[in-house]
Amino acid sequence: MKRNKQERQKLLQSTIEGTPFITDEELAKRFGVSVQTIRLDRLELSIPELRERIKHVAQQQLDTVKALPLEEVIGEMIDLQLDEAAISILDIQREHVFSRTKIARGHHLFAQANSLAVAVINDELALTASANIRFTRQVKEGERVIAKARVVSIEEARTTVEVTSYVDKEAVFSGEFIMYRSTGE
């Protein structure tokens, strides 16, 4: 049953990926084989033992806890002149793309632009009222998106912000954001 082994190992891999906190014993029960077989499989697939897996996950947490401020701004703000202009950078990583095509999902580019539009407003409250956006080129995993926001008009309670995002000087996204603002409330 060569087939069975291969299939089991594939399943094993994805099972452990999905639920890394699983012991060999539980896996053995789930697949209807002995614990030894599971261990052989892990050996062949170079999957570390439970404790190592847990440690690894925890290590990531320790590493990223300080890097992830659950930001108000999506991407890294590198320039900000209130009511005038702002620039932010977003590195497209695995979590931003469709797993199949590796193309960035639109809402991440939107999020970067939108949060930049919010940040550039020099007021207590800034909310997006409407937006008109275009995705002009696909962005792939690994690319760095630079979003540039420019305030084009300030009216009573509305501000218009234009955001264009680039990868290597090439425009990939552009949008006009009508922002609602109010000092009170």
Summarize as ranges the residues that interact with DNA (CB under 7 A): 1-2, 4-5, 8, 23-25, 33-34, 36-37, 39-40, 42-43, 48-51
Give CA–CA dist 177/157, Å, rounded: 14
Asked if 114 touches a copy of itself (CB under 8 A), the answer is yes
Among 34, 48, 49, 57, binds a copy of itself (CB under 8 A): 57
Return the amino acid letter for 5: K
Give which of 92, 149, 90, 95 is closest to 122, Cα–Cα. 149
Rule CB under 8 A: is residue 54 a binding residue for a copy of itself? yes
| By the rule CB under 8 A, 111 interacts with a copy of itself | yes
3-class DSSP state for residue 2? Answer: helix
157 touches a copy of itself by CB under 8 A = no
Taking the C-alpha atoms of residue 137 and residue 109, their distance in angstroms, rounded to an integer, is 11
Tell me whether residue 8 or residue 173 sits nearer to a copy of itself (CB atom): 173
With CB under 5 to 8 Å by kind, the binding choice for 153 among a copy of itself, DNA, none is none
Evaluate the CA torsion angle 173, 174, 180, 181 in order and state its sign.
positive
> Nearer to a copy of itself by C-beta: 54 or 78?
54
Q: What's the CA gap between 39 and 24, in Å, rounded?
A: 7
User: What tokens appear for 19 in the block?
Assistant: 């639920």
Structure tokens at 41: 């499989």
154 binds, among DNA, a copy of itself, none (CB under 5 to 8 A by kind): none
What is the per-residue binding string for a copy of itself in 62-81, x denoting contact by CB under 8 A? x-x---xxx-x-x-------
Q: Which among a copy of itself, DNA, none contacts residue 111 (Cβ within 5 to 8 A by kind)?
A: a copy of itself
Residue 37 CB neighbour total at 10 angstroms: 17
State the nearest-atom distance from the C-beta of 129 to a copy of itself, in Å. 6
